[in-house]
Structure 1
């Protein structure tokens, strides 16, 4: 049946949705029939797009009309493959792309393994053809924020599932039996989006950064955040690639002083985001910025104060699962260059609070189990910042009542201290292990730079000198 040849008269949007449901109730015995039904569904949506699909909520509703159907449950891989190969990769019309990208985006949001399957279908010779196509299309979408925002969001979701897979954050959402089967199939599929690096140029990055700055006065911030999230994915790929310069860092250096909105909104997103992947990607870019000498003073001092507050809160409040441990470790990894390299070196902020929390990680209460990598990170921050920058002795406060103790710092210096129950904020959960996706210079082995003859923290009780407060 040619649905384009049929005249439809809908009294309201509900009757439109009823007709959509009837399209999905057709019985399909072959993959070709499934593909035909999917094409009918997409063409039907394109035909009535201006009448019934004008808002983001309506776009989501027509997508979930398909995703929640028995038809999708029974034929999900065929459906997704057909949308990618016959619509998303081949279509260049904005109306058709709006529908195809919408269906793929919400399928991936429903379960990351469906997006992994989309990436595998779009990847040819280790090059993600769909993401490269989206990058090339962004210029032409600039005047249409709905289409551009959708393309940006889809690009980020494709990068996001690759991040989850690489970090193994433990996010395994089982929606139904068929979705579980897809997950099992993907165990043997090598997913990679490293092929996008060839499509990312300085000009493309400048275009996206200009878009961010152009939205500074917008009351609706979602478009701005969509751009930033895609840029974060780009940075991740540059960090993971070998023998390639980080073009995003180069772009920020070249635009020093003219990308303030990007920096401000990135910290704002970190402060408010509940998406662990977004947080980790932001922290990685912050690390790149704080370790690039030309960008040491990229942020305004007030923004750095906000960032310190966020770090202190997250280090204390994150949970004790694997994802939380990875995040806490990442927060600690950027704290050192933040305190040592930026304006905070000369304008300290919350010195006492930072010192107390770091000490509580090194010498926690009896009931807390802090990972050794976190202790090493905290010890290094104390040595490089508290001892060298603040010119204070390193003498962590133990969370037990022991008097006349001698604390040995990682530099071999001995300091005496009264040891008493700490009043510092105590994290509610174990601290994190290291994140494998940081560069090698961030690994725990590189952090443990104390000599083998001197333990990072040793405690000696007998014959101690008179106690002093640290």
Structure 2
């Protein structure tokens, strides 16, 4: 069946019947496979406006191919031809169907075969070019599909140095502009894919900052943090939406992406006060609630708890909350106390949690005061203090380790070692498979 065949389908049922005939093709020759794939793209793009007006029908169309004999018998070849098509085609309807195939195939494949193939063939720079192409931007559904494909294919594998170099400052500002300009509603379907691309790029930069590339390249600039540092007052909506998403998200991997962005933002002096103060209060409430909600006897919960605590420290030390009136000081102290006294006889609190709690309580404004006897927990008739006996004077400022982290996030040279680099490495290496849900005390109680 040649690509040039013209179709005259009179109704939607004929369209799906024709599609079924194409994906059921049985053959061994590459030429016939190519013709069948061309026919598939021809019929889907020719009738896209009539029968593929919704994302559901596009997905239905893709899954017809994924479940058909043509794909099942020649998976590697079909995948490679589709990848080549993405690299070479400029027609929007064709790009839409090709991107949809790659996205749904990737989500459906536990082995991430198609995403690894895309990486090997250098698809990422092509996605960057397509996403910033004006004609693609005008097709909102295609643009969103490409953003989702970039996110899904980038969060399961490390990008190469060449991939990261294809992202410049203008591309990051372009994405921030979309978030700022579409609407103020975080439920806007256009917001979510753009935010997730920025989050996954930030993680890629964070991972890259912890080690040199084998080909000798190093010192990659984290362009996401740089954009916020230089244009943060213009692009506030991104920060607001991070807090809203963290408040709602139940998938552990996405929570971690958000936390890693927050860690870098609050760890740098140039971005520590990026968030509005009222939004910052909401963020503290969300972190306190999520820390309380994590069960104490789950390894997965412990790992996530550690990340929350690592993020909480720079918030307490560097953000507006470090200045009077010190939002929820007593509540924070009570929670930190609870975290190191909530173990059981059989499962004591782990050393990492104790270390991270102490780091938080070493923050100057959380040091003991005369009024703490009325606010801290009482055990056996006396006040329980979990604070370090060593206090810092009122002139205490952000230390050298945090200044080094600020330089790191902007892509400058970094000296290995020290508390700052250790913390960055701990945060960067904490990952979770997509789809895994965050452990919750509340969920356990309802089961």
Same fold (TM over 0.5): yes
Q: Distance in 2 between matches of 1:405 and 1:287?
A: 32
Higher relative contact order (CA 8 A, sep 6+): 2
Per the alignment, in what secondary structure is the counterpart of residue 142 of structure 1?
helix
Q: 1:324 to 1:159 in 2, by over 3 A?
A: farther
Q: Distance in 1 between matches of 2:426 and 2:90?
A: 48
Count of matched residue positions in the alignment of Structure 1 and Structure 2: 384
Residue of structure 2 in register with 1:255 after alignment: 231
Please give the per-residue CA displacement for 1:26-57, whole angstroms capped at 9, x wherever unaligned.
22335554444333322221121121112212
The one of 143, 146, 164 equivalent to 1:197 is 164
Residue of structure 1 in register with 2:125 after alignment: 132
The one of 202, 207, 214 equivalent to 2:174 is 207
Residue of structure 2 in register with 1:314 after alignment: 290
Kept in 1, the 8 Å contact 2:376–2:383? The answer is no
Q: Distance in 1 between matches of 2:68 and 2:370?
A: 65
Q: 1:322 to 1:23 in 2, by over 3 A?
A: farther
Residue of structure 1 in register with 2:95 after alignment: 97
The one of 175, 193, 197 equivalent to 1:226 is 193
Residue of structure 2 in register with 1:122 after alignment: 118
**1:313 shift after superposition:** 2.0
Residue of structure 1 in register with 2:402 after alignment: none
Kept in 2, the 8 Å contact 1:205–1:248? The answer is yes
**1:327 shift after superposition:** 2.5
> Which region of structure 1 is more displaced relative to structure 2, 388-397 or 197-206?
388-397
Residue of structure 1 in register with 2:407 after alignment: none
* Matched ranges for 1:6-405 at <5 A: 6-11=6-11, 13-30=12-29, 33-85=32-84, 87-114=85-112, 117-124=113-120, 129-140=122-133, 141-162=136-157, 192-217=159-184, 221-242=188-209, 243-318=219-294, 322-346=299-323, 347-366=325-344, 368-384=347-363, 387-388=366-367
**1:133 shift after superposition:** 0.8
Q: Distance in 1 between matches of 2:302 and 2:337?
A: 18
| 5+ residue gaps, structure 1 | 163-190, 414-437, 446-470
Q: Give the structure-2-normalised TM-score.
A: 0.77
Per the alignment, in what secondary structure is the counterpart of residue 225 of structure 1?
helix
Kept in 2, the 8 Å contact 1:276–1:323? The answer is no
**1:145 shift after superposition:** 1.5
Q: Structure 1 residue runs of 4+, over 6 Å off? A: 389-396, 403-408
Please give the per-residue CA displacement for 1:286-327, whole angstroms capped at 9, x wherever unaligned.
111111112222111111111112112221223565544332
Kept in 1, the 8 Å contact 2:92–2:142? The answer is yes
Q: 1:440 to 1:18 in 2, by over 3 A?
A: farther
Find out whether 1:441 has 2:423 as its counterpart: yes
Please give the per-residue CA displacement for 1:188-215, whole angstroms capped at 9, x wherever unaligned.
xxx6444321111112212221121111
Q: 1:234 to 1:8 in 2, by over 3 A?
A: same
Q: Give the structure-1-normalised TM-score.
A: 0.73
Q: Distance in 2 between matches of 1:406 and 1:99?
A: 62
- Aligned residues: CA RMSD: 3.1
Q: 1:217 to 1:387 in 2, by over 3 A?
A: closer
Q: Distance in 2 between matches of 1:68 and 1:194?
A: 36
Kept in 2, the 8 Å contact 1:287–1:337? The answer is yes
| 5+ residue gaps, structure 2 | 210-218, 392-419, 428-447
Q: 1:406 to 1:275 in 2, by over 3 A?
A: closer
